[in-house]
């Protein structure tokens, strides 16, 4: 006698293991319970999938067993496989999210530190300006190349401080008695 039971199981698309329990229900009826299990699946929802129970005579089970179990068993096996894949992807997404959050936090902290450095340098320069130490104030200013968003403000302060400690020798200050050339009496 040749049985093809295992050949039929081998043909099924399973990523899980099957536990079969066979018991006599009555003198001529047999009950077969099939439990699909996937130990690799970390989702506890797998535990609520009930076993598939078939009841029939030996002849009925021989003739139609695989036609009745194929779809539900493959479906349950696929569901557990998808659950595990889903759980792994969720963990990966959490890691990625944490990494992105950490990266954003790091960028924010760097920006805040840079902004604080700029504010501190400007405050120091203004304090020196108030003391009349224009050369030191000019030196204390932050570099415009490091703070391009503040380049105009820095440039204005540099010009202001420079005018106090290094006046332009070629610029002639106009006195109140100087009259413009076109209004002179010639």
What are the per-10-residue average pLDDT scores of the chain (186 residues)? 79 86 93 88 81 91 87 84 83 82 87 92 90 87 89 88 72 53 50
Q: Give, for 126, the enclosing helix (H) or strand (E).
A: helix 58-130
User: Which pLDDT score is estimated for 172?
Assistant: 58
Give domain status of residue 176, yes or no.
no
Q: Which of 23, 35, 11 is nearest to 61 (CA)?
A: 23
User: Which pLDDT score is estimated for 124?
Assistant: 92
- Do residues 82 and 17 both lie within one domain? yes
Are 30 and 23 spatial neighbours (Cβ–Cβ below 8 Å)? yes
Give domain status of residue 184, yes or no.
no
139: containing domain: 106-165
User: Which pLDDT score is estimated for 55?
Assistant: 92
Give domain status of residue 177, yes or no.
no
Give domain status of residue 175, yes or no.
no
User: Last residue of a domain, which of 66, 90, 114?
Assistant: 90
Are 20 and 51 spatial neighbours (Cβ–Cβ below 8 Å)? no
Q: How many angstroms separate the CA atoms of 18 and 104, rounded?
A: 47
Q: How many angstroms separate the CA atoms of 105 and 147, rounded?
A: 21
Give domain status of residue 178, yes or no.
no
């Amino acid at each position: 006698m040749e049985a093809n039971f295992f050949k039929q199981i081998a043909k099924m698309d399973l990523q899980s293991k099957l536990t079969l329990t066979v018991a006599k229900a009555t003198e001529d009826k047999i009950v077969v319970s099939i439990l699909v299990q996937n130990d690799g699946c970390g989702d506890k929802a797998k535990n609520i999938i009930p076993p598939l129970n078939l009841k029939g005579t030996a002849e009925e089970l021989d003739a139609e067993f695989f036609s009745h179990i194929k779809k539900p068993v493959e479906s349950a096996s696929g569901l557990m496989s998808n659950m595990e894949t889903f759980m792994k992807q969720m963990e990966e997404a959490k890691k990625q999210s944490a990494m992105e959050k950490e990266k954003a936090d790091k960028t924010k902290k760097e920006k805040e530190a840079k902004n604080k450095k700029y504010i501190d340098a400007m405050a120091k320069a203004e304090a020196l300006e108030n003391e009349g130490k224009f050369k030191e104030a000019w030196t204390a200013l932050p570099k415009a190349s490091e703070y391009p968003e503040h380049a105009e403000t820095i440039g204005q302060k540099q010009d202001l401080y420079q005018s106090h400690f290094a006046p332009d020798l070629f610029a002639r200050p106009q006195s109140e008695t100087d009259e413009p050339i076109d209004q002179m009496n010639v």
